[in-house]
Amino acid sequence: MRIYENGPSSVLKLEEAVPPVLSEDEVLIKVSTIGLNRAEVLFRQGLYLERNTFPSRIGYEACGTLVACGSAVKSSFPSLSPGDRVSTIPGFSQTKHGVYGEWAVVPARYVEKCPQVLSDEAGASIWMPYLTAYGAIKALGAVSAGQYVLVTAASSSVGYAALEIVKREGAFSIATTRTAAKKQALLDAGADYVIVTEEENLVAAVQKITNGKGADIIFDAVAGPFLLALAKSCAYEGQIFIYGALSLATTNFPLQLSLKRGLKISGYTMFQITHDDKRFSLGKEYVLTGIAEGMFKPRIDSVFDFNDIAAAQDYMESNKQNGKIVVKI
């Protein structure tokens, strides 16, 4: 799959191609399943952090069989061998190494064996959700037992992963969702509290839940005007990690509240984890341990056929999904 211009899902073009010669640190994967992410929709639209270089590949997450390794992979990554069932970890350039296709060439650094307990669909749904949530809530936010963590747009795959991480750390999760349609699903997934923002006052609801303290950590995918309400919902010296911008409206910095309450408001991406050797190693260990314990279970919303991948991206843009959208080759 390639794109030659930015625009709607119709710019995705399926083409015949042969894999390139592997660089010494790359591997070739026969893809079975692709996991979709909001990052790819934004990338296609020309709104992502990485700009396209046309013609561009696209896609971050896939599960499949490792077919071949570059000359340096055996010595640098001895755990990887042809025949392994593997998952890709977002950390590479989409425009060069995108995984939308029957095969993918990816740097070996961003490939990990897929846990046997996971299906291929789940194997393509691990790393973007769990490493993104882990990085903000655990690695940088240093969440501790008894704290309150507010997760906005919680019905996304990253949101569900965040709820599981909060529970694993013994903290209390407060999930937000725009409408009541997804409330029960979030409660069933382990959210301690759910606030329906179209029906409830966010600030008042958070103050009631936390007995007037506010949320210790806020993990936000929305930004825009919503940030002011989040700042009002934050505890003294609380932390707000903004990892997305579902609201494309201007995001104004709440200066006075930040000064008054000593808030830490920061932009955040998973690349702060994947591009740092120590954080990356600890993050992978954390996620794989959570899966082995049975605490982390990727939530699959729907499965599309590869020929319908444009429709799958359209569905993601509708914001109707509850969890991960995957595509089968």
SS3 track for 31-52: EEEEECCHHHHHHHHCCCCCCC
Pick from 286, 306, 290: nearest CA to 298: 290
| pLDDT tens digits, one per residue of 96-110 | 999 999 999 999 999
d(Cα 267, Cα 29) in Å, to the nearest integer?
Answer: 33
Q: What is the pLDDT of residue 247?
A: 86
| pLDDT tens digits, one per residue of 61-96 | 999 999 999 999 999 999 999 999 999 999 999 999
d(Cα 207, Cα 213) in Å, to the nearest integer?
Answer: 6
- For helices 127-134 and 157-168, give the axis angle rounded to 10 degrees: 50
| pTM score, whole prediction | 0.96
Fold equal for 2-126+299-328 and 129-271: no
d(Cα 112, Cα 77) in Å, to the nearest integer?
Answer: 10
| pLDDT tens digits, one per residue of 121-175 | 999 999 999 999 999 999 999 999 999 999 999 999 999 999 999 999 999 999 9
Q: 165 and 137 in contact (C-beta within 8 Å)?
A: yes
The residues pairing with 193 across neighbouring beta strands, listed in sequence order, are 174
Q: What fold does the segment set 129-271 form as a domain?
A: Rossmann fold (3.40.50)
Q: Which CATH number does the domain 2-126+299-328 belong to among 3.30.43.10, 3.90.180.10, 3.40.50.2020, 3.40.50.1820?
A: 3.90.180.10
d(Cα 140, Cα 136) in Å, to the nearest integer?
Answer: 5
| pLDDT tens digits, one per residue of 248-290 | 789 999 999 999 999 999 999 999 999 999 999 999 999 999 9
Q: What is the pLDDT of residue 71?
A: 97
| pLDDT tens digits, one per residue of 163-221 | 999 999 999 999 999 999 999 999 999 999 999 999 999 999 999 999 999 999 999 99
The residues pairing with 201 across neighbouring beta strands, listed in sequence order, are none
Amino acid at site 175: A
Q: Is the dihedral of CA 182, 186, 187, 189 positive or negative?
A: positive
Pick from 291, 313, 310, 323: nearest CA to 119: 291
The residues pairing with 267 across neighbouring beta strands, listed in sequence order, are 242
In this structure, the number of other CB atoms found within 10 A of the CB of residue 8 comes to 12
| pLDDT tens digits, one per residue of 282-293 | 999 999 999 999
Count Cα neighbours of 176 within 13 Å in the Cβ-side half-sphere: 26
d(Cα 89, Cα 57) in Å, to the nearest integer?
Answer: 16
DSSP code of residue 19: P
Q: What is the pLDDT of residue 249?
A: 85
Q: What is the pLDDT of residue 208?
A: 98
Residue with tokens 């899902």: 9
Any idea where the domains of the chain sit in the sequence?
2-126+299-328, 129-271
DSSP code of residue 139: I
Q: In angstroms, what is the C-alpha Rg of the chain?
A: 20
d(Cα 161, Cα 37) in Å, to the nearest integer?
Answer: 14
Q: 1 and 98 in contact (C-beta within 8 Å)?
A: yes
d(Cα 170, Cα 183) in Å, to the nearest integer?
Answer: 22
d(Cα 190, Cα 175) in Å, to the nearest integer?
Answer: 10
